[in-house]
Amino acid sequence: MAAIINQEIPEFSTEAFVNGEFKTITSEDVKGSWAVFMFYPHDFTFVCPTELEDMANHYQELKDLGVEVYSVSTDTHFVHKAWHDSSEAIGKVTFPMLGDGTGKITRGFNIMIEEDNAALRGTFIVDPDGLIKVAEIHDLGIGRSAKDVVRKVKAAQYVRDNDGEVCPAAWEQGQATLKPSLDLVGKI
User: How many beta carbons lie within 10 A of that of residue 14, not counting itself?
Assistant: 21
Query: Where is 60: in which H helix or E strand?
Result: helix 47-64
Give Cβ neighbours of residue 144 (< 8 Å, ≥ 6 apart): 38, 51, 54, 121, 123, 136, 138
Look up 167 and say whether it is catalytic: no
Q: Please give the pLDDT value at position 132.
A: 98
Residue 1, exposed/middle/buried by CB under 10 A (0-12, 13-18, 19+)?
exposed
Q: Please give the pLDDT value at position 2.
A: 60
Q: Please give the pLDDT value at position 183.
A: 76
Domains defined along the chain, listed by start: 13-184 (3.40.30.10)
Q: Please give the pLDDT value at position 182.
A: 75
Do 66 and 34 form a contact (C-beta atoms < 8 A)?
yes
Q: Please give the pLDDT value at position 186.
A: 72
pTM value? 0.94
pLDDT tens per residue, the chain (188 residues)? Answer: 567 999 999 999 999 999 999 999 999 999 999 999 999 999 999 999 999 999 999 999 999 999 999 999 999 999 999 999 999 999 999 999 999 999 999 999 999 999 999 999 999 999 999 999 999 999 999 999 999 999 999 999 999 999 999 999 999 999 999 888 877 777 66
Q: Please give the pLDDT value at position 180.
A: 83
Q: Which of 48, 55, 98, 149 is catalytic?
A: 48
